[in-house]
Amino acid sequence: MDMKFDAQAEGFRAEVRSFVESNLPDDIRAKVSEEEMILPRDMMQRWHHELFKQGWGCPSWPVEHGGAGWSDEEHYLFEREIALADAPRPIPYGVVMLAPCLMEYGSKAQQEKFLPGILTGDQLWCQGFSEPNAGSDLASLKCRAERDGDHYVINGSKTWTSDAHVADWMFGLFRTDSSGRKQQGITFLMIDMKSEGVTISPLENFEGTHEVNQVFFDNVRVSVDNRVGAENEGWGVAKYLLGLERFGTAEVGRSLASLGRLKTLAKTVKVGSGTLLNDSDFMNEVARAEIALRALEVTEQRFLFGPGGSESMGAEASMLKVRGTEIQQDILELAHQALGYHAHAMIDVASPENDHNPAAIAKAHYNFRKTSIYAGSNEIQKTIIAKAVLGL
Ligand SMILES: Cc1cc2nc3c(=O)[nH]c(=O)nc-3n(C[C@H](O)[C@H](O)[C@H](O)COP(=O)(O)OP(=O)(O)OC[C@H]3O[C@@H](n4cnc5c(N)ncnc54)[C@H](O)[C@@H]3O)c2cc1C
C-alpha cells in the first residue's frame, strides 16, 4: 500500500493546514485539545461559520447543494488535518446524518426549508433514536406518534440525546404502528424543539459534563409535512442514515494528536530525578499504542483507497470503529495513569509540581468511556464483523 499522496493532494493538505492555522480561534482550539468533543453552541457555530465562508461547511454534500466537490483523497486529508490541528469535529447530526437523508428521501419543500440552515450552521439538530428500552435493539422503540388529521401527536421519550439542549430541531424515529414486525411501523419525523410539550432533562456524565439528555414528549403536535419518507417506512431511512459515515470513523488524526499530548505529558511528569520518559514500562505501553494506531491508519487507508476502494463501508466501518475507540481509550488511560494520584482530583487546577492540568486529562479519560457505547456499541459492531467477515 503506497501511502504517499500526489503533489496536488499535498497542495490541498497544505491549504487546509494553513486555513486552520489562520482561522481556528484559540479558545476553541484549547477546548478541543483538552479532548472536549461536544462544544458549547456558540463555539460549534463560530467554527462552522469560518468553514462555511471558505466553502467547506458541508464538504461531503453534492456541489449543487453547497458541497465542496472534493475527491476521496481530499476528504480524507481535510478530516485528518482538522483533527491534527485540534479543530472541532463537524457538527454531525444535521450535516452528516439528516441532510443526506433529506437529499435521498425528502421532498423538494423539505430540502428548501432545512438544507440552507444546516449548510450555514445557523440551525443545529439532534438525533432522537435511542429510548430507555431501545438502544442496541433500536427497532423495539415505543415512543408513539399517532395520526390526527394532518398532524402526528407524539407521546413518550428519547434518551441519551446528545446536544438536545442546544439543538433547534430533532430528527427521530417514532412508532406509528405496532401490529407487524418491529422494524415495520416506524416513521421518521422532524420536530421543532420549541414545540409545546417537549421537555429536555439533562443527564450529567460521570465526570460532570452535560452532553446528553432525556427528552420527553407530552402530546407534541408535528405536521405531516415534517415526515421524511412514507409513514411506517422510517426504518429504511434510518438504515440509510446509519450507513453514511465513511471518513473519520477510526479517528486516527484525533488519536495522533492525543498521542502527541501523551508524549509531552511523559516528558513533564517528574519521577524521581527524571521524568516518565525514563520509565521503560510506561514508554513500552506508549509505543504499543503508537504501533496499534499506525496499523489502524494503514488499515483505514487500505479500506478507503486500496483495490476496489470503498463506496460504502459495511463491516469495514465496524472494524475501524472498534479498533479506533479501543486505541483512543488506551491512550487516554495511559495519560490518566501518568498523572498518578493527581488523576483523582478532577478539579480545575494546574498540578503544583507539573506543568499540565490533571483535571482535564482525568475528565477526558472518563468521558471517552462513551466512545465504545455510542454509534452502535463495540459488542454490536463485533457481531456485525462476525456475521459479515467470518460468516458466523
Ligand atoms: C455519550 C452518548 C451519546 C449518545 N448520543 C445519542 C444520540 O445523540 N442519539 C441517540 O439516539 N442515541 C444516543 N446514544 C445512545 C446509544 O446509541 C446507545 O447507548 C447504544 O446504542 C447502546 O444502547 P443502550 O445504552 O440502550 O445499551 P444496551 O443496548 O442495553 O446495551 C447494554 C450492554 O449490552 C451489550 N449488548 C446489547 N445487546 C447485545 C447483543 N445483541 N450482543 C452483545 N452485546 C449486547 C451492549 O454492547 C452494552 O454493552 C448515546 C450514547 C452515549 C453513551
CATH (domain of 341): 1.20.140.10
DSSP 67: -
Q: Which is the closest atom of ligand 1 to the Cα of 205? A: 1
pLDDT at residue 348 in the model? 55
For CA atoms 144, 154, 39, 48, the dihedral sign is: positive
Long-range contacts of 273-281 (CB under 8 A, 24+ apart): 276/338
Ligand 1 pocket, mutate which of 35, 141, 157, 160 (most atoms under 8 A from CB): 160
C-beta separation of 196 from 182 below 8 A = no
Is 188 close to ligand 1, i.e. is its CB under 6 Å away?
Answer: no
Instruction: Supply the range of the domain harboring residue 346.
Output: 252-388
Enumerate residues 6+ apart whose C-beta is below 8 A from 207.
346, 362, 363, 366, 367
Q: Note whether 381 and 268 are same-domain residues.
A: yes
Q: Is the dihedral of CA 337, 341, 344, 347 positive or negative?
A: negative
Question: Which contiguous run of DSSP H or E holds residue 147?
Answer: strand 144-148
Domain count, the chain: 3
Q: Within a domain: residue 95?
A: no
Residues 59 and 145 in one domain: no
90, 116, 146: which is the final residue of a domain? 90
Å from CA of 235 to ligand 1 middle: 18
**Which residue has a Cα nearest atom 52 of ligand 1?**
374
Contact 214, 158 (CB under 8 A): yes
Closest C-alpha residue for ligand 1 atom 35: 379
71 lies in the same domain as 168: no
220 and 298 housed in the same domain: no
What lies within 8 Å, CB to CB, of 390 at 6+ separation is: none
**Please, are residues 94 and 116 in contact by the beta-carbon 8 Å criterion?**
no
Q: Is 159 in the pocket of ligand 1 (CB under 6 A)?
A: no
Q: Is 153 helix (H, G, I), strand (E, B) or coil?
A: strand
Q: Which three cell numbers stand for residue 41?
A: 453552541
Q: What is the three-class DSSP state of 217?
A: strand
Q: Identify the pLDDT of residue 390.
A: 87
Picking from 238, 45, 240, the residue whose alpha carbon sits closest to that of residue 124 is 45
Return the C-alpha cell found at 9.
493532494
pLDDT of residue 391: 87
Per-residue confidence (pLDDT) for residue 8, from 0 to 100: 94
Residues 6+ apart with CB under 8 A from 142: 131, 133, 134, 156, 175
Cβ atoms within 10 Å, residue 98: 27
Task: Say if ligand 1 is within 6 A of residue 370 CB.
Answer: yes
Beta bridge partners of 220: 154
> Alpha-carbon distance 328 to 378, whole Å?
13
Are 229 and 236 in contact, with CB atoms under 8 Å apart? yes
**Ligand 1 proximity of 213 Cβ (cutoff 6 Å):** no
Distance from Cα 13 to the centre of ligand 1, integer Å: 36
Atom number of ligand 1 nearest to Cα 375? 17
Task: Answer yes or no: is 101 within a domain.
Answer: no
- What gap in Å lies between CA 244 and CA 250, rounded to an integer? 14
Q: What positions carry a catalytic annotation?
A: 245
Residues 281 and 323 in one domain: yes
Domain membership flag for residue 274: yes
What pLDDT score was predicted for residue 85? 97
Distance, CA 218 to ligand 1 centroid (Å)? Answer: 24
Is the C-beta atom of 48 inside 6 A of ligand 1?
no
Where a domain ends, among 236, 271, 306?
236
| Res 359: pLDDT | 85
Do 214 and 335 belong together in one domain? no
C-alpha cell at 111: 430540502
218 and 274 co-located in one domain: no
Question: Could you tell me if 155 and 209 lie in one domain?
Answer: yes
209 Cβ closer than 6 Å to some ligand 1 atom: no
Same domain, residue pair 73 and 168: no
Per the CB < 8 A criterion, the answer to whether 188 and 142 are in contact is no
| Domain final residue pick, 71, 90, 109 | 90
Q: 187, 173 in Cβ contact below 8 A?
A: yes
Which CATH number do you get for residue 175? 2.40.110.10
**Is 367 a domain residue?**
yes
- Are residue 273 and residue 380 in the same domain, yes or no? yes
Q: Same domain, yes or no, for 219 and 260?
A: no
Q: How far is CA 17 from CA 78, 121, 184, in A?
A: 9, 22, 46
Residue with cell 508524549: 263
Q: What's the pLDDT at 346?
A: 63
How many Å lie between the centroid of ligand 1 and the Cα of residue 14?
Answer: 39
- Asked if residue 103 is part of any domain, the answer here is no
Q: Is the CB of 212 under 6 A from ligand 1?
A: yes
Tell me the CA–centroid distance for residue 261 and ligand 1, in Å.
29
Task: Look at residue 119 and tell me if it is in a domain.
Answer: no
Averaged over successive runs of 10 residues, the pLDDT of the chain (392 residues) comes to: 82 98 97 93 96 97 96 94 95 93 97 98 97 96 98 98 97 97 97 98 93 98 98 96 77 96 92 93 98 96 79 82 96 93 65 68 93 93 92 85
